[in-house]
Amino acid sequence: EAPILKINNLKKHFQLSGNRVLKAVDGLNFEIKRGETFGLVGESGCGKSTAGRTIMRLYEPTDGEVIFGGRDVRKLRGAERQKFTSDMQMVFQDPYASLNPRMTVGKIIAEGIDIHGLYRGNKRTERVHQLLDAVGLNEEHANRFPHEFSGGQRQRIGIARALAIEPKFIIADEPISALDVSVQAQVVNLFKKLQREHDLTYLFIAHDLAMVKHISDRIGVMYLGKLVEVADSEKLNAKPLHPYTQSLLSAIPIPDPEVQKTRERIILQGEIPSPLNPPSGCPFRTRCPSAMDKCAQSMPAYKEVEQGHFVACHLY
Ligand code: SF4
Ligand code: MG
């Protein structure tokens, strides 16, 4: 089956003052299959949110293609373009900033319904109630305002808004990072439930590999605007190839102390370099415990080393 989303050499560069260029996203290649959850992870500033926004076309790509449902989204016009904007929805990181404080919850949720003219009158009210129910809230909440809700509830409102026009694909940009640890699991479970019920595909963006590995079928690891490794979630966990992925995994505590003993924590030296001035050759070389001479000279190619397992590193 053809993937629902295919990203070819996607780039988003920002032109800054003084002729500087921020290569926030610098040549991504990956696919997402229908019905799966693809986790995109990396430290803050690695370009993962920019990647999500560029795929959504909130940003115009500098280069590369976004193929959605077999179509190059740049070439969509009129009704097809409309269809794309309803098929792909986003859930944002900050459930405080992303909900208009002057609008009632019902109005916030119905915004997309109104824009696309889907339901009116009683049907519209019914639909809003149905959506509140789907995300674990209730009818009375429709007339209240965002400030009356907790962070977790607000994120449920954001999810209901994204669901309102029956999208096929949801980009969730760190949807639980701003929430209390105690409610994070509930919101993750809600995402899983909705995926089953509504046949959704997710691009799940996070800085925390520990969280993403539980929800994702496959994972892509980003560093300084590039993908360094992509693999099945299980494979990535059991046999990470890239030294950066290995270091991220080594930082996750393992509940079983016997297994924990066998795993060595890999501490990276130094800070993540500025994306305005990335190192020559491999972008990870300034922090890599395995760096060799050639790592400074040439950028490692991004290649498939085993079926479905991609890595960009001179070790392979
Ligand atoms: Fe480390 Fe070299 Fe591989 Fe980069 S290419 S991750 S510096 S070994
Ligand atoms: Mg971000």
Per-residue pLDDT of the chain (316 residues; tens, 9 = 90+): 889 999 999 999 999 998 899 999 999 999 999 999 999 999 989 999 999 999 999 999 999 999 999 999 999 999 999 999 999 999 998 888 889 999 999 999 999 899 888 899 999 999 999 999 999 999 999 999 999 999 999 999 999 999 999 999 999 999 998 888 889 999 999 999 999 999 999 999 999 898 888 899 999 999 999 999 999 999 999 999 999 999 999 988 877 777 777 777 888 888 889 989 999 999 999 999 999 999 999 999 999 999 999 999 999 9
Ligand 2 center–CA 177 separation, angstroms: 10
Of the listed ligands, the closest to the CA of 300 is 1
Q: Which pLDDT does position 80 carry in this prediction? A: 92
Q: Which pLDDT does position 94 carry in this prediction? A: 85
- What is the distance between the terminal CA atoms of the chain, rounded to a whole angstrom? 29
Domains of the chain: 5-312 (3.40.50.300)
Q: Which atom of ligand 1 is nearest the CA belonging to 289?
A: 1
ipTM above 0.95, yes or no: yes
Of the listed ligands, the closest to the CA of 53 is 2
User: Whole-angstrom Cα distance, residue 37 to residue 295?
Assistant: 32
Around Cβ 10, how many Cβ atoms within 10 Å? 22
Ligand 1 center–CA 269 separation, angstroms: 14
Count of alpha carbons within 13 angstroms of residue 140, beta-carbon side? 2
Ligand 1 center–CA 18 separation, angstroms: 31
Q: Which pLDDT does position 111 carry in this prediction? A: 92
Question: What backbone phi and psi angles, to 5 degrees, belong to 205?
Answer: -95, 135
